[in-house]
């Protein structure tokens, strides 16, 4: 079982700055039309995509991210081939929005994980439902 950590964003040492950037990313998602993004902060997400078990974790590489350019096609079987997950947003009713630098946080659309595809959600400490 994964213990929920305190809220952080990769490479950001200041908690207030991490919170500010998390809200900026949420605003970017809402600007793309995702109107029901919750205030929950997700640390880890296990899910099934095309019959393959996958995971997204803040601070870890995701194979569907694009590390160099939009033209780069990663080896999707290599779990370290993509760029790091910066934030995972929960859109009420789904889908989950997994954001890397180029996939939803600074530009582009997020990696979409349907609510029916998820198998486990780990929230940051104090930021889950009922907290």
Render pLDDT for 98-125 as a digit per residue (tens, 0 to 9). 998 888 888 889 999 998 888 899 999 9
Query: CB of 86 within 8 A of CB of 102?
Result: no
pTM assigned to the model: 0.84
Question: 35-75: per-residue pLDDT in tens?
Answer: 899 999 999 999 988 888 889 999 988 877 555 444 545 55
Whether a cis peptide bond, with omega within 30° of 0, leads into 95 is: yes
Among residues 83, 74, 128, which one has the least CA distance to residue 110? 83
pLDDT digits (tens, 9 = 90+) for 83-101: 889 999 999 988 999 998 8
Would you state the pLDDT for residue 81? 60
Residue boundaries of the structural domains of the chain: 15-123
CB 9 within 8 Å of CB 105 = no
């Amino acid at each position: 079982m994964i213990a929920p950590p305190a809220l952080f964003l990769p490479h950001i040492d200041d908690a207030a700055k991490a919170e500010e950037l998390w809200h900026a990313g949420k605003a970017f998602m809402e600007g793309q039309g995702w109107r029901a993004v919750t205030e929950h902060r997700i640390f880890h997400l296990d899910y099934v995509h095309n019959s393959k078990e996958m995971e997204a974790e803040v601070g870890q590489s995701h194979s569907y991210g694009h590390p160099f350019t939009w033209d780069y096609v990663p080896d999707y079987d290599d779990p370290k081939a993509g760029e790091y997950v910066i934030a995972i947003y929960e859109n009420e009713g789904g889908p989950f929005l997994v954001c890397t630098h180029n996939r939803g946080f600074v530009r582009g659309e997020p990696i979409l994980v349907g609510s029916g595809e998820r198998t486990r959600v780990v929230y940051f400490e104090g930021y889950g439902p009922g907290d």
